[in-house]
């Protein structure tokens, strides 16, 4: 999943802790340390589950009433079905370097 820039404001103690995680070599940057922390919390089930999609989608200004939505969804599903399923094709295994 592509990453997006975000500006956050944190307590000084939290910034110090994140910098410590980075300096300890566990992550390469403050951003990565914060990303790992949020990912871990999300996967562990902390926080509430979103119950609404409000604000998560954009409706094209050229079709605000979604009159062409059915045709667009059908076309996207058809194109998706035409693609080979990733699990159906076995990729060759490359040689891995031993961990040091």
In this predicted structure, the answer to whether residue 96 has a pLDDT above a threshold of 70 is no
The C-alpha angle with vertex 58 and arms to 55 and 62, in degrees rounded to 5, equals 145
Say what the pLDDT of residue 92 is. 60
Domain assignment of residue 36, yes or no: yes
Instruction: Give me the number of domains the chain comprises.
Output: 1
> Which range of residues forms the domain containing residue 37?
12-43
- Across all residues in the chain, what is the average pLDDT? 83
Is 4 among the domain residues?
Answer: no
Residue 20, domain member (yes or no)? yes
Q: Would you say residue 39 lies in a domain?
A: yes
Report yes or no on 17 lying in a domain: yes
CB burial string 42-65: b at 16+ within 10 A, e below: eeeeeeeeeeeeeeeeeeeeeeee
> 75 lies in a domain?
no
pTM over 0.75: no
- C-alpha–C-alpha distance, residues 27 and 57, integer Å: 32
């Amino acid at each position: 999943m592509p990453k997006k820039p975000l500006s956050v404001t944190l307590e000084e103690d939290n910034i110090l802790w994140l910098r410590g995680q980075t300096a300890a070599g566990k992550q390469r940057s403050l951003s990565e340390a914060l990303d790992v922390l949020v990912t871990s919390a999300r996967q562990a089930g902390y926080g509430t589950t979103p119950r609404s999609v409000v604000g998560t989608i954009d409706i094209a200004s050229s079709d605000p009433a979604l009159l062409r939505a059915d045709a667009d969804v059908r076309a996207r599903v058809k194109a998706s079905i035409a693609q080979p399923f990733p699990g159906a094709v076995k990729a060759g295994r490359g040689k891995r370097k031993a961990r040091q």
